[in-house]
Amino acid sequence: MATFNLFNTLKNDLEIDTGERTVSVIPQLSPKNYAQVKSILNRLGGDWVTQKQHFQFSKCPQALIQRVLSVGSRHLNSFHFYPTPEVIFNYITQFTPLSFFGASEKQVRVLEPSAGEGSLIRQLEAFGKMEGRDFVTDGFDIDPLNVIFCQEAGLNVQQADFLNVEPVENYDLVLMNPPFNGDEFIKHIQHAQKFLKPTGLLISIVPTQWIKTFDGKANRMWLLEQAQIDSTTDLDENNFFEPGTFKGVSIPTTVICLRSCQSAEQVLNSKQYRESSIKAFGFYIDNHGKSWDKLHRIKMDVEGADKTVEAVQMLTASILRDMTADTTHLVRRYEENYVVSLVDQWFPKYAYKLQKAPPEPQQLNLGLFLDELQVA
């Protein structure tokens, strides 16, 4: 009797009915070998129908099996394909500016940079139809099979490694659920932001562990600052989607919103944003017993301007390193300003040590962005 080989069985011993989208296993296999074939067919989306003794697929089984034969079953999900479930899309429609985006009669140009099988695009189109809004979406995906499925469904999705697509500032909205592996999703978000018109908005589903363990990494710090402008509550762990919200994903996730690079820098460098961040830092100290006590101790114990300023700098740095629910919202780029404000308030006689003031930020009308979004 020939020895069992999974690859050969998938290649030669399956009966595929492309019209009905069914697959039957031809040879009699031992229970152990059959279990291997069944496991692959189940992972590809095939459901066993006992009455008919075959696996029923909703997508073309031939293309799916061809994918296993070309990439190998272990690399089946090498592009980290996890379609966005309805519960997350519904959250986006209720709790992000998508709730009003495109509500005027203007067409909204949308980019989906890693479209998968088009889950987000389809849900957006259905939402647009229901709400009478005109979303026109362009998409990319690196996996040719996903692209085939999208194109079969009439979606405008091209095959490409999105990170190599030349940016054009053409889009009012980027809606994305990028591959999460490592910090890869940050690269995708950074690149996607370059496709926004100056008044555009990017909405992305993201994992959450980078928020708590950013370890001073510049890319995580960048994302946190960008997301803090418009999505503070989504960075709060009480609002995370539980593990398992995505089928097969065992980590929590959340949704963040970013502006165009130009608009974000304008806010981050504005006087109002800086002043409200300094206030929030002061509020944190006043309400956080441990930090308040430490400041008191500095006042009692430390002698001399140099040592005092150094102690305040160390305290500020340790607060900003600590990523708890209470400190996530503190904007890290203002660290120097936080030190200045603490020394000013608590140790005015040493304030001269910090007289090298940071550059004066520009004035900004913070209401402008929302006004622009509402007419979009």
For residues 252 and 185, the answer to whether their CB atoms sit within 8 Å is no
Question: Which amino acid is residue 92, in one-letter code?
Answer: I
252: contact with ligand SAM by CB under 6 A: no
44-48: long-range pairs with CB below 8 Å, 24+: 44/68, 44/76
Question: Which amino acid is residue 296, in one-letter code?
Answer: H
CA 351 to chain CA centroid, Å, is: 41
Smallest separation (angstroms) from ligand SAM to the CB of 240: 17
Instruction: For residues 139 and 159, give the distance between their C-alpha atoms in angstroms, rounded to a whole number.
Output: 9
Mark residue 72 as left, alpha or beta (left: phi above 0; alpha: psi -120 to 50; beta: remaining). Answer: left
187: contact with ligand SAM by CB under 6 A: no
Alpha helices in the chain (DSSP H): 6-12, 31-43, 61-71, 86-95, 119-131, 144-152, 184-193, 209-212, 218-230, 261-268, 271-287, 289-301, 305-321, 335-346, 367-375
145: contact with ligand SAM by CB under 6 A: no
H or E element, residue 232: none
Specify the DSSP class assigned to residue 258. Answer: E
For residues 49 and 56, the answer to whether their CB atoms sit within 8 Å is yes
Q: Which stretch binds ligand SAM (CB under 6 A): 114-122, 214-222, 314-322, 333-341?
A: 114-122
179: contact with ligand SAM by CB under 6 A: yes
H or E element, residue 235: none
140: contact with ligand SAM by CB under 6 A: yes
Q: Which stretch binds ligand SAM (CB under 6 A): 50-58, 115-123, 271-279, 281-289?
A: 115-123
User: For ligand SAM, which is the closer residue by CB, 159 or 262?
Assistant: 159
162: contact with ligand SAM by CB under 6 A: yes
How many residues of this chain bind ligand SAM (CB under 6 A)? 21
User: What is the number of residues in the chain?
Assistant: 376
Q: How many Cα atoms are found within 13 Å in the side-chain-facing hemisphere of 157?
A: 29
Which of 40, 103, 163, 305 contacts ligand SAM by CB under 6 A?
163
115: contact with ligand SAM by CB under 6 A: yes
User: For ligand SAM, which is the closer residue by CB, 93 or 270?
Assistant: 93
Residue 162: phi and psi, rounded to 5, are: -55, -35
The CA dihedral of 246, 251, 254, 260, to the nearest 10 degrees, is: -100
Smallest separation (angstroms) from ligand SAM to the CB of 1: 40
H or E element, residue 157: strand 157-159
Angle between helices 271-287 and 289-301 (to 10 degrees): 90
Which of 23, 25, 110, 120 contacts ligand SAM by CB under 6 A?
120
Q: Which stretch binds ligand SAM (CB under 6 A): 55-63, 92-100, 113-121, 148-156?
A: 113-121
143: contact with ligand SAM by CB under 6 A: yes
Q: Which of 127, 119, 193 is CA-nearest to residue 155?
A: 119
Smallest separation (angstroms) from ligand SAM to the CB of 85: 9
User: For ligand SAM, which is the closer residue by CB, 144 or 358?
Assistant: 144
Q: Which of residues 41-100 bind ligand SAM (CB under 6 A)?
A: 79-84
Smallest separation (angstroms) from ligand SAM to the CB of 121: 8
Q: Which stretch binds ligand SAM (CB under 6 A): 1-9, 158-166, 298-306, 308-316?
A: 158-166
Smallest separation (angstroms) from ligand SAM to the CB of 122: 9
Smallest separation (angstroms) from ligand SAM to the CB of 243: 15
Which of 142, 255, 278, 342 contacts ligand SAM by CB under 6 A?
142
173: contact with ligand SAM by CB under 6 A: no
Residue nearest to ligand SAM (CB): 116
* Interacting residues toward ligand SAM by CB under 6 A: 79-84, 114-116, 119-120, 140-143, 146, 161-163, 177, 179
